[in-house]
Structure formats: C-alpha cells, structure tokens
Structure 1
Amino acid sequence: MRPNTNVATIRTIVFRLKSIVQWAEELGRSGKQDTSISTALPLRYREFKEKFRIQIPSHLGAAEREELRLAILVLKYDLCLYKPDMLDIISALMNRHLNPEEVSRILHSPCPNLVPTLDPTVTNAMDISFPNCHKEILFQILHINRTPSSLYVPDTIDYANSQWINHLVETVPDPKNVKILFKNVSSLQTYEDVQKARAWIENIEDSASRNESVRAFMKQRRVSKLMDGVHIILLAPSTPTLLFKSYAQS
C-alpha cells in the first residue's frame, strides 16, 4: 500500500475487490471459469470479511499509537457503512471522541503502510470483524431513529431510516437480533426490505424457531401493508417459477 494512500482510497479498493469477487462467483455458477478462481477468491474474501487484523508497529510512541488506533477505527466504520463520508455517524460511533471534521481529516489524510492479515498469531494488532461492526452501527442508528432530529444532520437521519435493515441482515439472526427486527419493523420502507428481513430470518439454524419467527414476522401490520398489491406472475404455465413484483414500494 503506497504511503500516500488514504482511508477513502482503501474503501474504494475494498469495494472494487467485492465487485471482482461477485464476478468470480458468477463465473463459477455459469461454469465458464476454472474453479481455482471462482471458488478460491470468494472463499478468501469471506474470510477477510469475517475478521482481519492490522498490526500496530511496536516502535510507535504513545501518541502515535493512539492516532493510529483512531485511524483504524475510522477505517473500520467507513468500510461497513453503505455510503461514503458519513462523518456524523462515524463520530457518533466513536462516542464523539472525534468530531465530524476530525473524522474527515483522517479519511482524507495519508495513512501509514497498513497491511491487513488473517494470521491469528500476529501480536500487537487490532481485530476488525465486519459482523461485529455492523452490529455496532445497527445499535447506533436505531438510537438515532429514537433521538430528536435536531441532534443530527439530515444525511445521518436519512441514512438511519433507510439503511438500518441492511446492517441488521449482516448480523447473526439470533433471538436478540430477531427481537430488534420485530421492534423496528414499522421502519421498513419497501417490499425489498421485507424480503431482505425474511431471508435473514430464514437463516436461523433451529427450524422450529425459524418457522415461528417467519410466521410472526409475516403477521406484522407493516409487513402486510408493504406486501399489499404484490403481483405474482407465472413466467410460464408449465413451470412453478414465480416472479414477484411489488407496486407498494415507497
């Protein structure tokens, strides 16, 4: 990584890597590519998304170590947010230890030669776990939704209203997180959000809990409202394949 690379550039690189992985997965499904690319690359990326580590050089002084630690936190949150430069949200996630202007400075200032590693034996390092990061962001933006709007900038409020479901579905669908979904189901905005939530619930490992949760979710008034006007269209009379199209999107 070049010494003049900044956090914003790292974000761009990671999202391009994600696009390459999606391309490799599509090639694998189509059977048009050697499995060494179509399987190895997505597997490696999934390992990276689960957790990676960034080593903090031992020769740094206390002030430099703290500055690097803050920069890594900013990097972590910026990589997990679905929009760039969400300065106010990152500041809130860091308990206002940095104000939005300081977050912006870190995002766009040159950063040191940070080398991510998957090696669990590396010492003096900070772990970055994307599932845990999404959970942290989820709790914060749900708090934003319950807080007077005068305390946050409009972009932060809009993001919290529209993106909380995307962060939720990146977490493990355990009973606690399912309760969070049910508590905030009135904030679902589109039929697509309903589909994301249902698909997430269906990943619950225990079949009885999964079926019960799906049934309870589908009975929610907000879910029923968003599914009003959904047309089920047979693609062909001879096949049970269905295409779902919603006219209830907001």
Structure 2
Amino acid sequence: AAFVLISVAWTLSVLISFIPVQLSWHTAKPASPSDGNATALAEAADNCDSSLSRTYAISSSLISFYIPVVIMIVTYTRIYRIAQKQIRRISALERAAVHAKNCQTPAGNGNPAEGSQPESSFKMSFKRETKVLKTLSVIMGVFVCCWLPFFILNCMVPFCGAEETEPFCIDSITFDVFVWFGWANSSLNPIIYAFNADFRKAFSTLLGCYRLCPTTTNAIETVSINNNGAVVFSSHHEPQ
C-alpha cells in the first residue's frame, strides 16, 4: 500500500508540473501584436516566461497543496481523537486489571512488582508511539506554515495587472522571499526528525549507520483481553 501511495504521489506530481510545462499549458496567453510592440513580444519569446495562467495557478495549487493539506488535517485530527480514546480505554482496563489482582491475591502474599513490569513496558511503548505522532504533527504544521504564504500568492499573482496597479498585487522580491521560505522547509525536516529517537534509529538503519553500533534488541509489548475479560500483557524481543 505504501508503494502504491508513493507511486500515486509521483504520478500526480508529473501530471501537475512536467507535462503542462512541456506543453506550455501553464503560461498566460501573450498579448496580441496590436495591443503593443511586436518587437517586445519577439524579445519576450526568447526569455523564460514565468507568468502563470489563472486556471493553472488555481488548479495546481488546489491539487498539490490545499486538498492534501485538508486531507492531512482531517486525518491527523481523527488519529488524535482515536489515540485519546485508546488512552482512556487502556487506563480503564489497567485499573480493572489491578483491581482484579488485588481481589484475587491474598493479603500479605501478593507481589505487586510482578505485574507492574509488563504494564510499565506497555505504557512506555504507547508513549513512544504518541511521540512519533506528535513529531509528524509538528512536521505537518511547519510544512503548512512554510508553504501557505507562497500558495496564497501563487493564486493572487495571476490576477494582478501588468503595471501592478490592481489590488492584491505583490512585488517580485516579496514573492521570491516566500518562495525561498517554502524551500527552506526541506532544511527544517531533518532537524525536527532528529528530536525523535525512533526516527533516528530508522534513518541510521536506512543509511547503514547501524553497522557501526552494537546489535541491540527491541522489546515488543502487546496487550490483549482473554475470554474472561481480564487484561493480559505480554512482551518479546526481536533483533533490531
């Protein structure tokens, strides 16, 4: 499924950027010679024309930014709500399990440390997953903050007049600043990823850096409910 989604993302990128640019669908229609100097139009034809048509500017911005951002916000909101429900459900199950153990264990013979270790390990595993979700949320927030100004201007500039006298116009320097502000987002992602230990381990594995470190094992904790309604915690180790 991951490869399919990646392929779809690259296919949409090619359809939005490469093909329209090669076929000159993205540029605004040039003025006719009767409206101005034909010599100026001939000179402009030899230069790179970066003016976008209104249709292409709006459609490309919707497909490449606005629609994906809305989908990501809705998805992360649902994940956050589900995670909160799971946290409350797990806490309730843990309290029920502790209460059941206290009722079944004779006074003075119980050893609370025996059952606390799997529960503590499970809580640590859940906290790690929550940190990963928070890291991804921060990355999405930074992405939106970096690229939103550019895509707002990208939809406004095609509606500006040639003399920049109409409303909602922007000068080229300000536009370039926001373009670079969006590109700077790529330099911020490695810094944000570095704050999460799980991402550091994943990147070290992909880059082959794990060979320089001793082999360790990762504990995998699971929680389940048996037929009697009791909570069962289990853990096992697997090579990194």
- The TM-score range, normalised by the shorter chain, is under 0.3
Which structure shows the bigger proportion of residues in helix conformation? 2
- Structure-1-length-normalised TM-score: 0.22
Structure possessing the higher radius of gyration over alpha carbons: 2
